[in-house]
Structure 1
Amino acid sequence: MFKISFAATSLLFVGCAFGAPALAHEHHHGGKAIADIVDGQGQTKGQAILTQHKDGIHVDVKAVGLPAGVHAVHIHTTGTCTGPDFTSAGGHWNPGKKQHGHDNPAGAHKGDMPNMTVGADGTGMLTTTVKGATLKGGSEPLFDADGAAIVVHAAADDYKTDPTGNAGGRLGCGIVKAE
Protein backbone atom coordinates (compact mmCIF):
# COMPACT_ATOMS: atom_id res chain seq x y z
CA MET A 1 0.00 0.00 0.00
CA PHE A 2 2.83 2.42 0.90
CA LYS A 3 4.56 1.71 -2.43
CA ILE A 4 1.40 2.54 -4.42
CA SER A 5 0.77 5.77 -2.48
CA PHE A 6 4.41 6.81 -2.82
CA ALA A 7 4.37 6.06 -6.57
CA ALA A 8 1.13 8.01 -7.07
CA THR A 9 2.48 10.97 -5.09
CA SER A 10 5.73 10.88 -7.07
CA LEU A 11 3.86 10.89 -10.39
CA LEU A 12 1.68 13.76 -9.22
CA PHE A 13 4.77 15.74 -8.20
CA VAL A 14 6.54 15.06 -11.51
CA GLY A 15 3.41 15.98 -13.48
CA CYS A 16 3.03 19.25 -11.58
CA ALA A 17 6.71 20.08 -11.93
CA PHE A 18 6.68 19.62 -15.71
CA GLY A 19 3.26 21.24 -16.16
CA ALA A 20 4.04 24.33 -14.07
CA PRO A 21 5.85 26.37 -16.73
CA ALA A 22 2.99 25.99 -19.21
CA LEU A 23 0.45 26.98 -16.60
CA ALA A 24 2.52 29.93 -15.43
CA HIS A 25 2.88 31.16 -19.01
CA GLU A 26 -0.88 31.07 -19.56
CA HIS A 27 -1.75 32.65 -16.21
CA HIS A 28 -3.05 36.17 -16.29
CA HIS A 29 -3.86 38.57 -13.50
CA GLY A 30 -7.19 40.32 -13.57
CA GLY A 31 -9.04 39.52 -16.70
CA LYS A 32 -9.28 39.12 -20.40
CA ALA A 33 -11.07 41.05 -23.12
CA ILE A 34 -11.75 40.58 -26.82
CA ALA A 35 -12.39 43.03 -29.64
CA ASP A 36 -13.81 41.69 -32.90
CA ILE A 37 -12.52 44.06 -35.57
CA VAL A 38 -14.81 44.95 -38.49
CA ASP A 39 -14.49 47.27 -41.47
CA GLY A 40 -16.88 50.07 -42.44
CA GLN A 41 -19.21 47.58 -44.13
CA GLY A 42 -19.34 45.32 -41.07
CA GLN A 43 -17.08 42.61 -42.53
CA THR A 44 -14.81 40.81 -40.06
CA LYS A 45 -11.21 41.98 -40.36
CA GLY A 46 -9.67 40.39 -37.30
CA GLN A 47 -9.62 40.11 -33.55
CA ALA A 48 -7.68 41.55 -30.65
CA ILE A 49 -7.25 39.68 -27.38
CA LEU A 50 -6.28 41.76 -24.36
CA THR A 51 -5.04 39.97 -21.25
CA GLN A 52 -4.10 41.50 -17.92
CA HIS A 53 -0.65 40.55 -16.67
CA LYS A 54 1.47 41.93 -13.85
CA ASP A 55 3.45 44.19 -16.20
CA GLY A 56 0.45 45.58 -18.09
CA ILE A 57 -2.08 44.61 -20.73
CA HIS A 58 -0.82 42.10 -23.29
CA VAL A 59 -2.43 42.71 -26.69
CA ASP A 60 -2.51 40.14 -29.51
CA VAL A 61 -4.02 41.32 -32.80
CA LYS A 62 -4.69 39.05 -35.78
CA ALA A 63 -5.97 40.73 -38.94
CA VAL A 64 -7.32 39.40 -42.25
CA GLY A 65 -8.46 41.01 -45.48
CA LEU A 66 -6.53 44.26 -45.03
CA PRO A 67 -4.48 46.10 -47.67
CA ALA A 68 -0.81 45.08 -47.69
CA GLY A 69 1.49 47.50 -45.92
CA VAL A 70 2.18 48.95 -42.51
CA HIS A 71 -0.81 49.98 -40.38
CA ALA A 72 -1.07 51.80 -37.08
CA VAL A 73 -3.04 50.03 -34.35
CA HIS A 74 -4.26 52.03 -31.37
CA ILE A 75 -6.51 51.68 -28.35
CA HIS A 76 -9.17 54.39 -28.58
CA THR A 77 -11.11 56.02 -25.74
CA THR A 78 -14.69 55.05 -26.54
CA GLY A 79 -16.25 51.62 -26.96
CA THR A 80 -18.29 52.55 -30.02
CA CYS A 81 -17.52 51.54 -33.61
CA THR A 82 -19.98 53.31 -35.90
CA GLY A 83 -18.91 52.91 -39.52
CA PRO A 84 -17.88 53.72 -42.03
CA ASP A 85 -15.25 56.05 -40.50
CA PHE A 86 -15.28 54.92 -36.84
CA THR A 87 -14.79 58.45 -35.49
CA SER A 88 -17.24 57.39 -32.76
CA ALA A 89 -14.30 55.55 -31.12
CA GLY A 90 -12.82 58.92 -30.13
CA GLY A 91 -9.12 59.65 -29.84
CA HIS A 92 -6.31 57.52 -28.48
CA TRP A 93 -6.58 56.22 -24.91
CA ASN A 94 -4.55 58.80 -23.02
CA PRO A 95 -5.26 58.81 -19.28
CA GLY A 96 -1.87 60.40 -18.55
CA LYS A 97 -2.60 63.41 -20.81
CA LYS A 98 0.65 62.93 -22.76
CA GLN A 99 1.42 63.76 -26.37
CA HIS A 100 1.32 61.11 -29.06
CA GLY A 101 4.14 58.79 -29.95
CA HIS A 102 6.88 56.63 -28.54
CA ASP A 103 9.48 58.86 -30.25
CA ASN A 104 7.94 62.05 -28.85
CA PRO A 105 9.76 63.23 -25.69
CA ALA A 106 6.38 64.34 -24.28
CA GLY A 107 4.68 61.01 -25.18
CA ALA A 108 3.27 58.44 -25.40
CA HIS A 109 -0.46 57.81 -25.05
CA LYS A 110 -1.35 54.52 -23.31
CA GLY A 111 -3.20 53.64 -26.51
CA ASP A 112 -0.13 54.03 -28.73
CA MET A 113 1.03 50.61 -29.91
CA PRO A 114 3.58 49.44 -32.50
CA ASN A 115 2.65 49.32 -36.18
CA MET A 116 1.37 46.08 -37.71
CA THR A 117 2.74 44.82 -41.03
CA VAL A 118 0.15 43.24 -43.31
CA GLY A 119 1.44 40.89 -45.99
CA ALA A 120 0.36 40.53 -49.62
CA ASP A 121 -2.16 37.91 -48.47
CA GLY A 122 -3.96 40.52 -46.33
CA THR A 123 -2.98 39.04 -42.98
CA GLY A 124 -1.09 40.66 -40.15
CA MET A 125 -0.23 40.04 -36.53
CA LEU A 126 0.80 42.28 -33.67
CA THR A 127 1.82 41.27 -30.17
CA THR A 128 2.70 43.93 -27.62
CA THR A 129 2.31 44.93 -23.99
CA VAL A 130 0.86 48.23 -22.84
CA LYS A 131 3.18 48.67 -19.85
CA GLY A 132 1.57 49.67 -16.57
CA ALA A 133 -1.96 49.58 -17.98
CA THR A 134 -4.88 47.77 -16.36
CA LEU A 135 -8.13 46.43 -17.75
CA LYS A 136 -9.92 47.15 -14.48
CA GLY A 137 -8.90 48.52 -11.14
CA GLY A 138 -6.24 51.08 -10.48
CA SER A 139 -6.58 54.78 -11.11
CA GLU A 140 -6.90 54.69 -14.92
CA PRO A 141 -8.43 51.38 -16.07
CA LEU A 142 -9.24 50.66 -19.70
CA PHE A 143 -12.74 49.56 -18.69
CA ASP A 144 -14.24 52.89 -17.74
CA ALA A 145 -17.78 54.25 -18.14
CA ASP A 146 -17.64 54.60 -21.95
CA GLY A 147 -15.48 51.58 -22.78
CA ALA A 148 -12.69 51.37 -25.35
CA ALA A 149 -12.02 50.21 -28.91
CA ILE A 150 -9.13 48.84 -30.96
CA VAL A 151 -8.68 50.73 -34.24
CA VAL A 152 -6.60 49.71 -37.26
CA HIS A 153 -5.55 52.70 -39.36
CA ALA A 154 -4.89 53.07 -43.09
CA ALA A 155 -1.26 54.18 -42.71
CA ALA A 156 1.73 53.64 -40.44
CA ASP A 157 2.13 55.59 -37.20
CA ASP A 158 5.17 57.88 -37.39
CA TYR A 159 5.50 57.59 -33.57
CA LYS A 160 5.81 61.34 -33.02
CA THR A 161 3.17 63.57 -34.63
CA ASP A 162 0.56 64.68 -32.09
CA PRO A 163 -2.25 63.68 -31.74
CA THR A 164 -2.51 60.77 -34.23
CA GLY A 165 0.92 59.91 -35.62
CA ASN A 166 -0.26 60.72 -39.17
CA ALA A 167 -1.84 57.26 -39.20
CA GLY A 168 -4.55 58.13 -41.72
CA GLY A 169 -8.15 56.99 -41.80
CA ARG A 170 -9.64 54.16 -39.80
CA LEU A 171 -9.92 50.86 -41.69
CA GLY A 172 -11.26 48.73 -38.87
CA CYS A 173 -12.64 48.99 -35.36
CA GLY A 174 -13.48 46.56 -32.57
CA ILE A 175 -15.27 47.27 -29.30
CA VAL A 176 -13.27 45.90 -26.36
CA LYS A 177 -15.53 43.57 -24.35
CA ALA A 178 -14.70 41.79 -21.11
CA GLU A 179 -14.67 38.03 -21.41
Structure 2
Amino acid sequence: MKRWLLYSILFLFVMSLAACSTNVGEDAPNDEDNPTLSGNENEGNVKDDIVPVSVDLKNSDGDKIGTVDLEQQFEGVLITIKASNLSPEEHGFHIHEKGICEAPDFKSAGGHFNPNDASHGTDHGNEAHAGDLPNLHVNEDGAVQEDILAEKVTLKSGEPNSLIGSTGTAFIIHKGADDQESQPSGDAGSRVACGVISKAE
Protein backbone atom coordinates (compact mmCIF):
# COMPACT_ATOMS: atom_id res chain seq x y z
CA MET A 1 0.00 0.00 0.00
CA LYS A 2 2.77 2.39 0.84
CA ARG A 3 4.50 1.76 -2.51
CA TRP A 4 1.26 2.47 -4.41
CA LEU A 5 0.81 5.73 -2.50
CA LEU A 6 4.38 6.77 -3.29
CA TYR A 7 3.89 6.11 -7.01
CA SER A 8 0.67 8.11 -6.99
CA ILE A 9 2.38 11.09 -5.39
CA LEU A 10 5.27 10.94 -7.89
CA PHE A 11 2.82 10.74 -10.82
CA LEU A 12 0.88 13.80 -9.62
CA PHE A 13 4.13 15.72 -9.10
CA VAL A 14 5.36 15.00 -12.65
CA MET A 15 2.00 15.99 -14.17
CA SER A 16 2.00 19.29 -12.26
CA LEU A 17 5.50 20.10 -13.55
CA ALA A 18 4.39 19.40 -17.12
CA ALA A 19 1.37 21.67 -16.74
CA CYS A 20 3.51 24.52 -15.39
CA SER A 21 5.94 24.18 -18.29
CA THR A 22 3.09 24.40 -20.82
CA ASN A 23 1.63 27.50 -19.18
CA VAL A 24 4.96 29.27 -19.16
CA GLY A 25 5.35 28.65 -22.91
CA GLU A 26 1.87 29.97 -23.61
CA ASP A 27 2.17 33.11 -21.49
CA ALA A 28 5.71 34.12 -22.49
CA PRO A 29 5.81 36.96 -25.03
CA ASN A 30 7.48 36.25 -28.36
CA ASP A 31 8.91 38.32 -31.20
CA GLU A 32 5.76 38.02 -33.32
CA ASP A 33 3.43 39.21 -30.55
CA ASN A 34 5.77 42.02 -29.48
CA PRO A 35 7.99 43.28 -32.31
CA THR A 36 10.00 45.45 -29.95
CA LEU A 37 11.57 42.27 -28.56
CA SER A 38 13.26 41.57 -31.90
CA GLY A 39 15.27 44.78 -31.80
CA ASN A 40 14.06 47.75 -33.81
CA GLU A 41 10.27 47.99 -33.73
CA ASN A 42 10.41 49.44 -37.27
CA GLU A 43 12.13 46.40 -38.78
CA GLY A 44 10.52 45.27 -42.01
CA ASN A 45 8.96 48.62 -42.82
CA VAL A 46 9.72 51.15 -45.52
CA LYS A 47 13.47 51.51 -44.87
CA ASP A 48 14.27 47.83 -45.37
CA ASP A 49 11.92 47.23 -48.27
CA ILE A 50 13.10 49.96 -50.65
CA VAL A 51 15.97 49.62 -53.10
CA PRO A 52 18.43 52.56 -53.18
CA VAL A 53 18.47 54.78 -56.28
CA SER A 54 21.49 56.16 -58.16
CA VAL A 55 21.16 59.22 -60.40
CA ASP A 56 23.56 60.56 -63.06
CA LEU A 57 23.97 64.33 -63.17
CA LYS A 58 24.58 65.87 -66.59
CA ASN A 59 25.39 69.44 -67.62
CA SER A 60 23.83 71.41 -70.47
CA ASP A 61 26.27 69.79 -72.94
CA GLY A 62 25.10 66.33 -71.94
CA ASP A 63 28.34 65.48 -70.11
CA LYS A 64 28.16 63.51 -66.89
CA ILE A 65 29.49 65.60 -64.01
CA GLY A 66 28.57 63.43 -61.05
CA THR A 67 26.16 61.12 -59.29
CA VAL A 68 23.54 61.36 -56.57
CA ASP A 69 22.77 58.28 -54.48
CA LEU A 70 19.48 58.03 -52.58
CA GLU A 71 18.81 55.65 -49.70
CA GLN A 72 15.63 55.40 -47.66
CA GLN A 73 16.02 56.05 -43.93
CA PHE A 74 13.41 56.01 -41.17
CA GLU A 75 13.69 59.83 -40.99
CA GLY A 76 13.56 60.51 -44.75
CA VAL A 77 15.83 60.01 -47.75
CA LEU A 78 19.62 60.23 -47.44
CA ILE A 79 21.04 62.05 -50.46
CA THR A 80 24.75 61.68 -51.22
CA ILE A 81 26.03 63.90 -54.02
CA LYS A 82 29.45 63.65 -55.65
CA ALA A 83 30.05 66.06 -58.53
CA SER A 84 32.79 68.01 -60.29
CA ASN A 85 33.29 70.60 -63.06
CA LEU A 86 31.16 73.17 -61.24
CA SER A 87 32.07 76.77 -60.52
CA PRO A 88 33.64 77.16 -57.02
CA GLU A 89 30.79 78.84 -55.16
CA GLU A 90 27.42 78.05 -53.61
CA HIS A 91 24.82 76.50 -55.88
CA GLY A 92 21.10 76.01 -55.36
CA PHE A 93 20.18 72.34 -55.28
CA HIS A 94 16.58 71.12 -55.48
CA ILE A 95 14.30 68.23 -56.29
CA HIS A 96 12.03 69.17 -59.19
CA GLU A 97 8.55 67.92 -59.99
CA LYS A 98 9.12 66.18 -63.36
CA GLY A 99 11.56 63.45 -64.31
CA ILE A 100 12.57 65.04 -67.61
CA CYS A 101 16.02 66.58 -68.23
CA GLU A 102 16.02 68.24 -71.65
CA ALA A 103 19.16 70.27 -72.30
CA PRO A 104 20.27 72.96 -72.46
CA ASP A 105 18.00 74.78 -69.96
CA PHE A 106 16.35 71.82 -68.19
CA LYS A 107 13.07 73.71 -67.88
CA SER A 108 11.40 70.41 -68.75
CA ALA A 109 11.88 69.40 -65.07
CA GLY A 110 9.22 71.92 -64.04
CA GLY A 111 9.16 73.66 -60.67
CA HIS A 112 10.24 72.43 -57.27
CA PHE A 113 8.73 69.21 -55.95
CA ASN A 114 5.93 70.59 -53.78
CA PRO A 115 3.14 68.08 -53.03
CA ASN A 116 1.94 70.10 -50.00
CA ASP A 117 1.57 73.38 -51.87
CA ALA A 118 3.99 75.11 -49.49
CA SER A 119 6.11 78.25 -49.94
CA HIS A 120 9.71 78.04 -51.06
CA GLY A 121 12.63 78.32 -48.66
CA THR A 122 13.46 77.85 -45.01
CA ASP A 123 13.91 81.49 -43.94
CA HIS A 124 10.31 82.77 -44.02
CA GLY A 125 8.96 80.81 -41.06
CA ASN A 126 6.48 78.74 -43.06
CA GLU A 127 6.63 75.21 -44.38
CA ALA A 128 9.13 74.81 -47.22
CA HIS A 129 8.84 72.82 -50.44
CA ALA A 130 9.47 69.10 -50.01
CA GLY A 131 12.09 69.48 -52.73
CA ASP A 132 13.99 72.36 -51.09
CA LEU A 133 17.53 71.32 -50.18
CA PRO A 134 20.53 73.17 -48.70
CA ASN A 135 22.93 74.96 -51.04
CA LEU A 136 25.90 73.00 -52.30
CA HIS A 137 29.32 74.33 -51.25
CA VAL A 138 31.62 73.68 -54.21
CA ASN A 139 35.37 73.66 -53.54
CA GLU A 140 38.01 75.65 -55.41
CA ASP A 141 38.70 72.62 -57.60
CA GLY A 142 35.06 72.60 -58.74
CA ALA A 143 34.18 69.45 -56.80
CA VAL A 144 31.56 68.79 -54.15
CA GLN A 145 30.70 65.83 -51.95
CA GLU A 146 27.92 66.18 -49.40
CA ASP A 147 25.34 64.13 -47.50
CA ILE A 148 21.87 65.63 -47.09
CA LEU A 149 18.88 64.15 -45.27
CA ALA A 150 15.64 65.12 -47.02
CA GLU A 151 13.03 64.59 -44.31
CA LYS A 152 9.95 65.53 -46.36
CA VAL A 153 10.28 62.95 -49.15
CA THR A 154 10.25 59.18 -49.52
CA LEU A 155 11.27 56.57 -52.08
CA LYS A 156 8.18 54.51 -51.26
CA SER A 157 5.86 54.61 -54.27
CA GLY A 158 2.23 55.53 -53.80
CA GLU A 159 2.85 58.17 -51.14
CA PRO A 160 1.99 61.86 -51.83
CA ASN A 161 5.59 62.87 -51.13
CA SER A 162 7.16 59.98 -53.07
CA LEU A 163 9.94 60.74 -55.53
CA ILE A 164 8.73 57.75 -57.54
CA GLY A 165 5.50 59.04 -59.07
CA SER A 166 3.62 59.32 -62.37
CA THR A 167 5.43 62.49 -63.46
CA GLY A 168 8.78 61.40 -62.07
CA THR A 169 11.20 63.74 -60.31
CA ALA A 170 14.65 65.18 -60.96
CA PHE A 171 17.58 66.89 -59.28
CA ILE A 172 18.57 70.36 -60.50
CA ILE A 173 21.76 72.28 -59.70
CA HIS A 174 21.47 76.03 -60.28
CA LYS A 175 24.11 78.52 -61.33
CA GLY A 176 23.82 80.61 -58.15
CA ALA A 177 22.92 80.20 -54.50
CA ASP A 178 19.36 79.81 -53.24
CA ASP A 179 18.49 82.66 -50.86
CA GLN A 180 15.93 80.33 -49.16
CA GLU A 181 13.28 83.04 -49.24
CA SER A 182 12.48 84.47 -52.68
CA GLN A 183 9.40 83.03 -54.38
CA PRO A 184 8.90 80.75 -56.12
CA SER A 185 12.39 79.21 -56.33
CA GLY A 186 14.98 81.13 -54.32
CA ASP A 187 16.40 83.33 -57.11
CA ALA A 188 19.15 80.77 -57.76
CA GLY A 189 19.58 81.55 -61.43
CA SER A 190 19.73 79.26 -64.45
CA ARG A 191 19.83 75.47 -64.31
CA VAL A 192 23.30 74.10 -64.99
CA ALA A 193 22.86 70.38 -64.30
CA CYS A 194 20.04 67.86 -64.13
CA GLY A 195 19.55 64.23 -63.15
CA VAL A 196 16.41 62.11 -63.43
CA ILE A 197 15.39 60.36 -60.19
CA SER A 198 12.40 58.63 -61.75
CA LYS A 199 11.11 59.11 -65.28
CA ALA A 200 7.75 60.58 -66.18
CA GLU A 201 5.40 57.86 -67.36
TM-score, length basis structure 2: 0.72
Residue 177 (structure 1) shift? 4.2
1:44: which partner in 2? Answer: 64
Residue 33 (structure 1) shift? 1.2
2:179: which partner in 1? Answer: 158
2:161: which partner in 1? Answer: 140
Which whole-Å CA distance do the structure 1 matches of 2:48 and 2:183 have between them? Answer: 33
**Which segments of 5 or more consecutive residues in structure 1 lack a partner in the other structure?**
1-26
1:118: which partner in 2? Answer: 138
- Within 5 Å, which residues of 2 pair with 1:27-106? 30-106=50-126
Letter in 2 for 1:116: L
Residue 32 (structure 1) shift? 1.3
Which whole-Å CA distance do the structure 1 matches of 2:74 and 2:177 have between them? Answer: 29
**Which segments of 5 or more consecutive residues in structure 2 lack a partner in the other structure?**
1-46
Q: Does 1:175 align with 2:167?
A: no
2:170: which partner in 1? Answer: 149
Percent of aligned pairs sharing the same letter = 36
Q: Does 1:128 align with 2:152?
A: no
Q: Which has the larger radius of gyration?
A: 2
Residue 51 (structure 1) shift? 0.9
Which whole-Å CA distance do the structure 1 matches of 2:147 and 2:112 have between them? Answer: 18
Residue 99 (structure 1) shift? 0.4
Residue 30 (structure 1) shift? 2.1
> Taking CA–CA contacts closer than 8 Å with sequence separation of 6 or more, which of the two structures ends up with the larger relative contact order?
1
Segments of 4+ moved more than 6 angstroms: none
Letter in 1 for 2:106: F
Q: After the TM superposition, which of the residue ranges 79-88 and 133-142 deviates more from structure 2?
A: 133-142
Tell me if the contact between 1:82 and 1:88 (Cα under 8 Å) persists in the aligned partners: yes
Residue 115 (structure 1) shift? 0.5
Which whole-Å CA distance do the structure 2 matches of 1:102 and 1:172 have between them? Answer: 23
TM-score, length basis structure 1: 0.80
Letter in 2 for 1:159: Q
Aligned residues: 152
